Amino acid sequence: MEFSSDLSQLIRVPQNVAILSHRNPDGDAIGSSLAMQHYLAQYGHTSHVIFPSEFPVEFEALPGAEEVLIWDIHTEECKHVLAKKNLFIFLDFNAYNRIDRLGDYVKDLPGSRIMIDHHLYPDPIADFIFSDTAASSTCEMVYQFIVGMGDHMKITPMVGKCIYTGLVTDTGSFRYATNPNVYRIAADLVERGTDDTAVQDMIFNSQTEKNLRLLGHCLSNRMEFYPEFRTALIWLSKKDYEQFNIQRGDTEGIVNYLLSVRDVKLAAFIHNQPTVVKLSLRSKGDLDVQEICKKHFNGGGHKNASGAYSHESLKATIDKFKNLLPEYKEQLLK
Ligand code: 5GP
Ligand code: MN
């Protein structure tokens, strides 16, 4: 990371800051945003965290979560607040289309822009771009950013708790996308007072009976295997959404169960959300699901974890996915 004097000036002199992250914010989006907010507060900045859509309930326990503004819900307030900002910090996304209408609005506002992100192929939408596709998470990068600014001491237990959240969620509790820094950072955060088991408890022991029944339904009734392509799929219909009263975050992590099967190399979760069909793809090894999502579904993400939206029907989307498998057969069987 390179820190020019212009950037240092922006961070060290109080600004009116908007911290933005992507639609359907996950633990890394929320963790990195709130960590940045608590860091900037120590320099006297005024800041608001704004997301396009709501975040899963388990993250409500993070410090500052109660003050986050949601564009879909608080649109007018968001516009009002954004109009006064002179610094925009983009975390865990790298293209305006990842923040939908919030992006359409922010695109034309005056002000400086900083992007910190670990997804592939960043768009040049900021004055200061920190892009590291080898980073486990944006939270890892926010930690490096704070340390790089010479502010190690500003990583308080509150900042640490938020950073630790993204480390845990984006690595599946240190199971994938790790690197030596992840463990060094985790150790440093624990030394600085982060209660690591409390964070894991907040994230993983917050399921409801409904979540477990939905998981049971997915595993019993909605799972399909295509062994000739080492691929597995779980799908959910609009009716399932109604029957299980599926809300934000309820389907998080379901796709990962498919990867726990030894021979499965490609896992897909295709679900008919109330307004759109959402795909989540996961892979093991060299198979690049980012390419599949980008090329065929106009989505993106990481090599082993990507997502996309389809405006076709659930059936048409599932058929399209299945019909793609022969194209990737060689890689799937490698
Ligand atoms: P998930 O499948 O859990 O929604 O997302 C997996 C990864 O893909 C995340 O890093 C997420 O940011 C990214 N992702 C999900 N949906 C989209 C999308 O529609 N477009 C792009 N570019 N990335 C996505
Ligand atoms: Mn991330």
238 shares a domain with 178: no
Task: Say yes or no to pLDDT of 282 above 90.
Answer: yes
For the chain, the domain total comes to 2
Tens-place pLDDT, residues 208-263? 999 999 999 999 999 999 999 999 999 999 999 999 999 988 999 999 999 999 99
- Same domain for 71 and 182, yes or no, is yes
Which of 294, 306, 317 to mutate to test ligand 1, by most ligand atoms within 8 A of the CB atom? 306
Given 176, 204, 232, the domain boundary residue is 204
Instruction: Provide the residue range defining the domain that includes 303.
Output: 209-332
Mean per-residue pLDDT for 124-131? 98
Helix/strand/coil for 265: coil
Q: Tell me: the pLDDT tens digits for 98-114?
A: 999 999 999 999 999 99
Ligand 1 environment, Cβ below 6 A: 22, 98, 280, 299-302, 305-309
**Which of 151, 175, 204 marks a domain boundary?**
204
Do 173 and 30 lie in a common domain?
yes
Give the model's pLDDT for residue 276: 94
Distance 153 CA to ligand 2 centre (A): 24
Same domain, 240 and 91: no
pLDDT, residue 248, reads 83
Residue that is last in its domain, among 180, 204, 228 = 204
The alpha-helical segments, DSSP class H, found in the chain are: 5-12, 27-41, 75-82, 100-106, 138-148, 157-170, 180-191, 196-204, 209-221, 238-243, 256-259, 289-297, 314-324, 329-333
- Domain match, 295 and 247 both: yes
Give the residue-averaged pLDDT of 274-279: 94
pLDDT score, position 1:
87
